Structures are given as structure tokens and as C-alpha cells.
């Protein structure tokens, strides 16, 4: 079995539940910048906002403060949060 160092490979082999919040976020970020990996950028975001919940209510402009995040990456993150909100809303309606 291959030992993955990239979060995407780890997810594939071990399942999404085995990843940290920063690893999951780094998959959405996809690529880093020179000298800073996607995983490092993701950890900086988690450190600043404390959690996914802390991130969820931030205006998109707050994410531009992070070196390595541009419009496309921020839009991916916003889309993921909207998908999560819709899942929660659908689940609550079913109860």
C-alpha cells in the first residue's frame, strides 16, 4: 500500500474522516505558492478563525488577507460552505 503525504491521497486511502480540518481545507485550496504549501496556507486560516464554523461567517474579503489565496480558491471555499449549509438545511427539513 502506498503511503500518501498529500491530503488528497490520504483521503483516498484512509477516508475523509482521517483528515484534519487543515488537510481537508488544503484539498480545496489545491496549490500553494513558492515557499508555502496549500497545507500551510490552510493551517494559517484554521489558526486565524479557529474552526470551520469560525470561517463560515467571514466575508470573502477576509480570505484575501492570506498570501496564496486568490479569487478562484476563495470561491471554492465559499462553494464548499454553501454545500454544507444546504445539506444541513435539507437534513433539518427532513426531521
SS in 3 state form for the chain?
CCCCCCHHHHHHHHCHHHCCHHHHHHHHHCCCECCECHHHHHHHHHHHHCCHHHHHCCCHHHHCCCCCCCHHHHHHHHHHHHHHHHHHHHHHHHC
Q: What percent of the chain has pLDDT over 70?
A: 97
Q: Indicate whether 1 belongs to any domain.
A: no
Residues 1-26 have a mean pLDDT of 89
Q: With CA atoms as reference, report the closest residue to 16 among 80, 74, 76, 71.
A: 80
What is the domain-level CATH number for residue 79?
Answer: 1.10.150
pLDDT tens-digit readout, 73-89: 999 999 999 999 999 99
Mean pLDDT of the residues in the chain: 92
* Residue 88 lies inside a defined structural domain of this protein: yes
pTM of the model: 0.88
Q: Does residue 2 lie within any of the structural domains?
A: no
Asked if residue 48 belongs to a domain, the reply is yes
**Assigned domain for 46 exists:** yes
Write out the residue range of the structural domain in which residue 77 sits: 7-94
In a domain, 78, yes or no: yes
Give pLDDT tens digits for 34-57: 999 999 999 999 999 999 999 998
Alpha carbons 42 and 30: distance in angstroms, whole number: 10
Model pLDDT, residue 57: 84
Cα–Cα distances (Å) from 63 to 1, 45, 46, in that order, read: 37, 8, 11
Number of independent structural domains in the chain: 1
* Domain assignment present for 77: yes
Amino acid at each position: 500500500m502506498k503511503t500518501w503525504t498529500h491530503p488528497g491521497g490520504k483521503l483516498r486511502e484512509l477516508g475523509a474522516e482521517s483528515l484534519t480540518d487543515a488537510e481537508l481545507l488544503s484539498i480545496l485550496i489545491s496549490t500553494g505558492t513558492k515557499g508555502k504549501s496549500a497545507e500551510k496556507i490552510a493551517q494559517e486560516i484554521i489558526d486565524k478563525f479557529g474552526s470551520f464554523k469560525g470561517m463560515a461567517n467571514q466575508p470573502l474579503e477576509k480570505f484575501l488577507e492570506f498570501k496564496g489565496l486568490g479569487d478562484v480558491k476563495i470561491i471554492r471555499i465559499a462553494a464548499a460552505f454553501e454545500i454544507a449549509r444546504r445539506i444541513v438545511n435539507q437534513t433539518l427539513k427532513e426531521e
